[in-house]
Amino acid sequence: MNTVIHQLKKNNLNNKLYIKREDLYPFSFGGNKARKADLFFKEIKNKNIDSVVTYGSSSSNHCRVVANKCASLNIECYIITPEKFESTHNSNLVKMSKAQVIETDIENVEQTINETLHTLQSTNKNVYFIPGGGHGNLGTHAYVNCFDEIVEYEEKQNIKFDYVFLASGTGTTQAGLVCGTILKDRTDLKVIGISIAREQKRGSSIIKKSIEDYLGKKYNEPIYFFDNYTCGGYGQTNRKIEEKIQEMYLVEGIALDPIYTAKAYYGMEEYLKSNKITEKNILFIHTGGTPIFFDYMEELL
């Protein structure tokens, strides 16, 4: 399913800024989790699955999409969540989708997943496990497909992107885009992940592994994954990020959220500034998360 790419009004250091609207991917408020889920659920339908188990926190876009997909296909959905499943727009949508939420301590997550799978299997359920965030080769493949759309746009518009920026969490989305540059012979295009939580060393080694798993061979090129804008970790934010959200809404009419896309957008601008990048074509991938924008309405006002 193709999502739109358009140019932004804002001009940044004489760079042309474009945005790919994955937030408008047409299911459950869109986002990269919706694109990944399409591939997981294609397999789930083929395998006659009746129960799906996955993992994520109360602000997880992945859990919202998976629970919504399960509801629409009449499949039981089990969400393992660390600590408390706090009330957020995403967690409320999970509840609306009638998923069963299982809370556990963060250190017991893996054990709880295994126990849940085991219990379901022992009652003759046909169970499918989706890794947290839609991590794994299917998730990577979803973003190889997305990269194909980017190349298609370039050809139609007769332009070439020099940089792609995005919010990077598990790194699956970034890994898919990097694999896309390799498969399409476009390694001149730099894919830059702005970490939303993980520190650089761990984050980039996981991306490298995802790329190698997908390509089935070693990958030794540099991975651009920067942890300077995490604000101290997952869900942490600061005034500058909040100001960026307001600015993007007022100038472009686009909703960013403080956990993922606003950090990435802010990080992109800082990166362009500090590396004195000008006169380039820059593509920002809006990876979604619109319900989280509404979680922060009070702070924004």
Task: Note the residues at the interface with ligand PLP (CB under 6 A).
Answer: 31-33, 61, 133, 167-174, 260-261, 287-289
Which residue, 120 or 231, is less far from ligand PLP as judged by CB?
Answer: 231
**Considering beta carbons, is residue 75 or 167 the nearer one to ligand PLP?**
167
Least CB distance from residue 92 to ligand PLP, whole Å?
16
Q: What is the 3-state secondary structure (H, E, C) of 192-253?
A: EEEECCCCHHHHHHHHHHHHHHHHCCCCCCCCEEECCCCCCCCCCCCHHHHHHHHHHHHHHC
**Length in residues, the chain:** 301
Comparing CB distances to ligand PLP, the nearer of 120 and 206 is 206
Instruction: Give the H or E element holding residue 154.
Output: helix 137-157
The minimum distance between CB 18 and ligand PLP, in angstroms, equals 18
CA separation for the pair 255, 17 (Å, rounded): 16
230: which residues sit within 8 A by CB, 6+ positions away?
195, 196, 197, 198, 199, 236, 263
What distance in Å separates the CA atoms of residue 117 and residue 102, rounded to the nearest whole number? Answer: 12
* CA-to-CA dists, residue 103 to 31, 91, 125, angstroms: 25, 12, 21
Shortest gap between Cβ of 261 and ligand PLP (angstroms)? 6
Q: For ligand PLP, which is the closer residue by CB, 33 or 244?
A: 33
What single letter denotes the amino acid at residue 88? T
Which CB atom, from 112 or from 172, has the smaller least distance to ligand PLP? Answer: 172
Least distance to ligand PLP, CB of residue 168, Å: 5
Beta carbon of residue 60, minimum distance to ligand PLP (angstroms, whole number): 7
